[in-house]
Amino acid sequence: MTSFKFWHGRMVTSMMMEGRRTFGFLLTIVVTFAIAPLIAILGYTFLKDGQFDISQINRMLEAERVWRTLGNSILLGVLVIVGTTIIAFPMALIRTKTSLYRYDWLDIILTIPFMTPPYIGSMGWILFMQHNGFLQQLFPSSAWLAETFFSLFGMVMIMSLHLFPFLYLMLKNTLLRMNGSFLDAALIFGRSPWRNWTKIVLPLVVSSYVLGSLLIFIKTLAEFGTPATFGSRIGFQVFTTEIHTYLSRWPVDISMATSLSLFLLSVCLVIWYIQNLIGRKHTYGVLSGKTPAMREVRDKWTIKLGSWMFMGAVLLLSIGIPYFSIVVTSLQKVRGNGLQAGNFSFASYQEVFTGGSAGLSAFLNSVMFSVITAVVTAIIGLCIALYIKKGETKKQQLLDFFSLMPTIVPGIVFVVGLIMFWNAPWLPATIYNTKTMVVVTYCVLFLPYSVQYTKSSLSQIDSSIFQSAAIFGRSKWEVYRQIIIPLLMQGILAGMMMTFIISMRELVAGLLILPPSVETGATFIYSQFEQGNVGVGMAVAVITVVMTVIFMFLLEWLKKRGGHENA
């Protein structure tokens, strides 16, 4: 830990210098924590007794199972793109082109599905749809639905309902930015609405759609929760579950897990590369100086009704059903008695809140890890963002790329790499099997969020501020402390909240690296399904989600307040 103190002490000083030392220093941090694990995977896969060796990779490539996994993962990715499109595209249109554009609170509600830990959502769906599940108890005639649901279709549906907010927000923002001048011009030059659409709107939307859907693809590949719960039930294995299987099921095969991780990493990098190519070719300057003005929209009643119905259906499926199951399960006394009057009590919650219960301490561990992660990533993220600025030099771009790597690299790959790295025999000391390891892992996984948030609020600061500060003879450090950091505070806080929310629900990292006697909320819930009391697990889930939603509203409030102050 002492080296930590030293490093961070230096970091603050070096911020003033912005020179080679800053770069070297920030790079060291990022490389040690984010890149070394990936190198460790490479090493473990390709080195045997110090010799280069490809037998591991060959062994993997020869296994028929691996190709089936690859096929499954890609199929799932493509289908989830289709699924999210079906939900997100109409939703984006409704929220920009109809009278529903007014209701900004809908956006907060629409991000709840993404904030819900995916394994909890899928467990909710399973409990709802299974034979003799809640749906059949409510509507006995719906038994045939179960058969259809427990298939790839159901899995795609659950994952699409979880991931659509991403695509929706991207599409909505593109549509919003375009509302103004482009369409005005088109209207003035008098083409038919249909032609306006096909020739102007669609081409402009396509680039952001492709980017968004590739992101969805990567997110689907990296997803663990739903495949682990729903996928294992229908026998649909993907990369993440296979890696987890090789690492945690008997017979254990660690080298297979690292080879597979490498494979998954390569697939994601290829997709990321394609995304970059497309991004460079097809980005149009839709951001002109003019702020898009919203016209008053009057809909026909059919459109209005249709929009509300679509919105209602999506909310019912993405929030209503899973949360219904979760809450009901947490309240049931005897689960075998189903939905019956008198079968409900707060016993599970009481059990959670009894002093020193396993559930409560797991939950508090999560809170502690998440708070520390949020603070640490905020500080490192701030330094990196201040260094990168607009990413004009090669060094800045390199650091930018490295710090954003974790968004491209699936979490499980990082976790495997961190385990390999911190168990390396040549390390003089290791943080493996300590709580520090958990925090380090979370920081690596979630650093991009804080970098992104800080960068975006940095980009809103006009360079004239720096110039005037320079004219009035302030030192660099003063400029940072008195002007820039206060201005960035909103962004930093928003990034911290986001990091906190996401750390709270992290599952796979916890499953693989937690030290003995330590559980997080997520692993506790998961293990209640494996061994313990499902009702108590669901009670912890409800508590976690309630807290997350409160944080989301806080986040929104913070953004709004920030907007007023800046204006």
Partner 1 sequence: MKKRGLKLFTTAGILLTLALAGCGNKEVEKTEKVSAQPKEEQILTVYSAGPDGLAANIQQAFEEKTGIKVEMFQGTTGKILSRLEAEKNNPVADIVVLASVASMDGLKETSQLQSYQDAKQAEKINSDWSNAEGYYYGYSASALGIAYNTKNTQEVPTDWSDLAKEQWQNKINIPDPSLSGSAVDFLYGYALAEKNAWKTMEIWKNNGLQVNGANKEALDAVITGDKNATIAGVDYMAYKAKADGEPVEIMYPRSGTVVSPRAVGILKDAKHIEAAKEYIDFLLSDEGQKLVTEAYLLPGNKEIPVKNRAALDEIPQLSVNWKGAEADQLEILTKFNDMFR
Q: Which residues of this chain interact with partner 1, rule CB under 8 A?
A: 1, 4-5, 8-9, 11-13, 16, 127, 130-133, 232-233, 235, 237, 245, 247-252, 254, 333-338, 358, 368-369, 372, 375-376, 379, 419, 423-425, 430-436, 439, 475, 477-478, 481, 514-517, 527, 529-532, 534
Structure token pair of residue 227: 């495949």
Minimal distance, residue 527 CB to partner 1, in Å: 7
Give the type of residue at 475: S
Minimal distance, residue 312 CB to partner 1, in Å: 28
Calpha distance 328→525 (Å, rounded): 16
Structure token pair of residue 223: 């997803």
Q: Return the percent helix, strand and coil in the chain, to nearest 5.
A: 80, 0, 20
Minimal distance, residue 207 CB to partner 1, in Å: 40
Calpha distance 178→288 (Å, rounded): 9
3-class state of residue 51 by DSSP: strand
Minimal distance, residue 505 CB to partner 1, in Å: 19
Sign for the pseudo-dihedral over CA of 133, 139, 144, 149: negative
Nearer of residues 21 and 481 to partner 1, judged by Cβ: 481
Minimal distance, residue 251 CB to partner 1, in Å: 6
Minimal distance, residue 82 CB to partner 1, in Å: 26
Minimal distance, residue 63 CB to partner 1, in Å: 12
Give the type of residue at 364: L
CA neighbor of 84 nearest in space, from 159, 27, 12, 145: 159
Nearer of residues 100 and 492 to partner 1, judged by Cβ: 492
In this structure, how many other beta carbons lie within 10 angstroms of the beta carbon of residue 44?
24
Structure token pair of residue 154: 């159901």
Nearer of residues 35 and 234 to partner 1, judged by Cβ: 234
Nearer of residues 96 and 454 to partner 1, judged by Cβ: 454
Minimal distance, residue 230 CB to partner 1, in Å: 11
Give the type of residue at 420: M
Nearer of residues 221 and 372 to partner 1, judged by Cβ: 372
State in Å, rounded, how far the first CA of the chain is from the last one: 43
Calpha distance 213→377 (Å, rounded): 27
Nearer of residues 98 and 229 to partner 1, judged by Cβ: 229
Nearer of residues 158 and 215 to partner 1, judged by Cβ: 158
Calpha distance 423→419 (Å, rounded): 6
Nearer of residues 352 and 431 to partner 1, judged by Cβ: 431
Q: ∠ CA 356-359-365 to the nearest 5 degrees?
A: 85
Nearer of residues 286 and 362 to partner 1, judged by Cβ: 362
3-class state of residue 52 by DSSP: strand
Calpha distance 356→487 (Å, rounded): 42
Minimal distance, residue 184 CB to partner 1, in Å: 50
